[in-house]
Structure 1
Amino acid sequence: MGEVNPNDPRPPYVQIADDLRRAVQNGEYEPGAKLPSGRELAKQYGVALMTVTGAIGLLRDEGLVESWQGRGVFVTGQQHRPAPDVSVRLAELADIVEKQSADLADLQARVAALEGSRRTKR
């Protein structure tokens, strides 16, 4: 396990998930083993905690790990499901960002209208 490669076309969270998946498959982490904390992994890979969270989320979606609030992330020992297609996940995220951008534009228009109505009442 190592650092994220900036020249790799895969997003950093995918690189980390792939690296951790390989470690599980190679027996570095046996079923039931606890993974290092998110902060430890972030330091190890030289990334933000949110990037590690994304990687763990992928592994959780595959069924390779389970996370327990306050306890940590553990290898399940179950045969993992195929990883979801990254392009599908990115498309879902793009849809979310697009909706949030539209919501933000709507809120900005409402604030501008409210500020304009306050000015005319003075």
Structure 2
Amino acid sequence: MGDISQKDSAHTVRDPLFDGRGIDHVGIRYHDLKKAVGWFRDTIGLPVDHETRTMALVRVGADGSHLALFQAEGDEPLRQPHHVALRVPDTAAAEVALRTAGVPLRRFGPNWGFQDPEGNVFHFMPSR
């Protein structure tokens, strides 16, 4: 696999958006969410910080990073990871910088996101 660098990219963001604040969460879809939550909680011993019928946040880091577990819809293929959420100091500035660089953005709930050249999905979360 080739290395993708900024000079090779069709789009280049000139101002640093990601200042080492890290990953907020990685989203993973499951056909049986309840079973996945139980496995991470009971077998691995990770705390579940938030849980609904369709998603759960499992804490994996002291910095507040999580696995975001989602219930898959029907028999949809489980392309993994579903998405990676990047912490940024200013989500609005990140949106403007990527739009200015010509990167197509799409909404993920209240957040903006984008795809890398291989189609992997990323979105922004405000730093904590």
The answer to which structure has the higher helix fraction is 1
Look at both structures and tell me which one has the larger radius of gyration over its CA atoms: 1
Q: Using structure 2 for the length normalisation, give the TM-score.
A: 0.22
